[in-house]
Amino acid sequence: MFDVAPTELLLVALVALVVIGPKDLPRAMRFVGQWIAKARGVARHFRSGIDEMIRQAELEEMEKKWAAENERIMREHAAETPISDHGVIEGDMVPLGGPPEAEPPAEPPAPAITKPQPLSPKSRS
């Protein structure tokens, strides 16, 4: 972007030393450094905003492509599988529990719960 040669930088430093003076030069350099930091922060914020806008545009474009692809797939499969009046695909339907011939495994019996016996007066002491 800007090309500053070392000799040019030395010339600027000498002019600043003569014009500003050695007493106020550190304060002036601190001011210039703060100004550069603010400028970098604004540039970073601007760049992140642009990046976010690009990301959002790409995401919207991908969502449109996915919606078009999903619509195409739905049209292809809608022609292959008939759907009843209630919106249910007709044909061989399997109950939610699985095929009827498969029985669920037997549950083990629950262990018996015994009531704790009260302590005798001799064992309390």
If you average pLDDT over residues 48-67, what whole number do you get? 95
Rounded to 5°, angle at Cα 53 from 47 and 57? 145
At 90-115, the pLDDT tens digits run: 555 555 555 556 566 677 777 777 77
**Which residue would you say has higher pLDDT here, 46 or 16?**
46
- Which amino acid would we find at residue 25? L
Helix (H) or strand (E) holding 36: helix 25-80
List all residues 6 or more positions away from 91 whose beta carbon is below 8 Å from its beta carbon.
81, 82
pTM of the predicted model over 0.85: no
Region of residue 118 (phi > 0: left; psi between -120 and 50: alpha; otherwise: beta) = beta
Helix (H) or strand (E) holding 95: none
pLDDT tier, 57 (very low <50, low <70, confident <90, very high otherwise)? very high
